[in-house]
């Protein structure tokens, strides 16, 4: 597709972790919606070449636009390069979607400090790196959207995946604290909080397990609960309802289509009975109360 054609599209969007799962479905959905999609994957002309080719074929088939960019959020340079590519092609970067994530499963003590650091690096620090690349352009524009794919697990903490929970908590903190600072500059923030999704992503298939097997093995008394974890999560689904991962991508497309200034800071996508919404409501009310007492009313205007 020629530049003149893609410049007429709705908006530009850069997505991290676009190779599979929620990120891939989001990229495909926004391609169909008419966005100029920059799909971030690692090594798109090497180990991820098949994913790149599949996305390019998808865009061609539906008459959309995609450019698969090399985006490794573990380093600042690829983040800078991906953002600069979008700006060079379109002169604007409208949306950044932080989707890259990695799951960790096992007893907390069994994970080494390095494994915990790896989770924080992937699930939180990477989002900050990408923000540092994108925000100078968005500040100059006086507009933009930072959208984070978070998790309901930051509201109701689960056992047996401590590094993942810590990483998602950290990303949530990065998202919310940054939101109050960039909102008055015209930059909106949305935290999409998926609930329980057992199928349809590569999370469980690529999960990381404790490196210190000896320490993890000291929790035999909890083996019954550990074995019950998956069926216990499935018990949260009433009447055996499905949890289509496409629902996350559809919600992302929905909130991005909302007029400027009307996007929610948090929105949940949950087909189970996990229930992060009540916690969100209380946290929002308390935040607004404290901010008004402190004289931070303007910081509540998130874009």
pLDDT digits (tens, 9 = 90+) for 54-64: 999 999 999 99
95-138 pLDDT, tens digit each: 999 999 989 999 999 999 999 999 999 999 999 999 999 999 99
Listed as ranges, residues in the chain with pLDDT below 50 are 1-7
pLDDT at 201: 65
Q: What is residue 235's predicted lDDT score, i.e. its pLDDT? A: 81
Q: What is the pLDDT of residue 236?
A: 81
Q: In what order do the strands lie in the sheet with 65-70?
A: 65-70, 36-41, 12-15, 95-98, 144-149, 187-194, 266-269
Query: CA–CA distance from 232 to each of 161, 190, 224 (Å)?
Result: 15, 30, 11
pLDDT of residue 275: 82
What is residue 9's predicted lDDT score, i.e. its pLDDT?
Answer: 58
> How many Å separate Cα 58 from the centre of its chain?
22
What pTM, to 2 d.p., does this model score?
0.92
* pLDDT tens digits for range 30-60: 999 999 999 999 988 999 899 999 999 999 9
Q: Residue 65: which residues within 8 A CB-CB, separation 6 or more?
A: 1, 5, 6, 9, 31, 35, 36, 37, 59
């Amino acid at each position: 597709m020629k530049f003149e054609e893609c410049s007429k599209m709705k908006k530009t969007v850069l997505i991290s972790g676009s190779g599979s799962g929620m990120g891939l479905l989001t990229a495909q959905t926004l391609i169909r919606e008419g966005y100029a999609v920059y799909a971030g994957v690692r090594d798109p002309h090497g180990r991820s070449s098949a994913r790149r080719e599949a996305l390019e074929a998808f865009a061609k088939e539906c008459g959309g636009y995609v450019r698969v960019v090399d985006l490794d959020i573990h380093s600042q340079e690829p983040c800078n390069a991906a953002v600069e590519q979008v700006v060079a092609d379109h002169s604007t970067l409208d949306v950044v979607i932080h989707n890259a994530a990695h799951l960790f499963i096992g007893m907390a003590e069994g994970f080494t400090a390095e494994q915990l650091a790896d989770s924080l690096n992937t699930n939180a620090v990477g989002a900050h790196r990408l923000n540092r690349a994108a925000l100078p352009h968005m500040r100059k524009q006086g507009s933009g959207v930072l959208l984070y794919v978070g998790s309901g697990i930051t509201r109701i903490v689960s056992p047996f995946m401590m590094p993942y929970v810590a990483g998602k908590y950290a990303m949530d903190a990065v998202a919310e604290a940054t939101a109050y600072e960039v909102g008055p500059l015209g930059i909106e923030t949305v935290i999409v909080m998926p609930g329980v999704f057992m199928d349809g992503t590569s999370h469980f298939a690529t999960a990381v397990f404790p490196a210190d097997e000896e320490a993890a093995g000291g929790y035999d008394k909890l083996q019954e609960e550990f074995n019950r974890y998956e069926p216990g999560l499935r018990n949260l689904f009433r009447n055996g309802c499905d949890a289509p991962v496409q629902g996350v991508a559809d919600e992302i497309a929905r909130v991005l289509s909302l007029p400027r200034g009307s996007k929610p800071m948090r929105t949940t996508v949950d087909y189970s009975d996990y229930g992060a919404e009540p916690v969100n409501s209380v946290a929002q009310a308390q935040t607004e109360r404290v901010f008004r007492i402190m004289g931070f009313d303007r910081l509540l205007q998130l874009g």
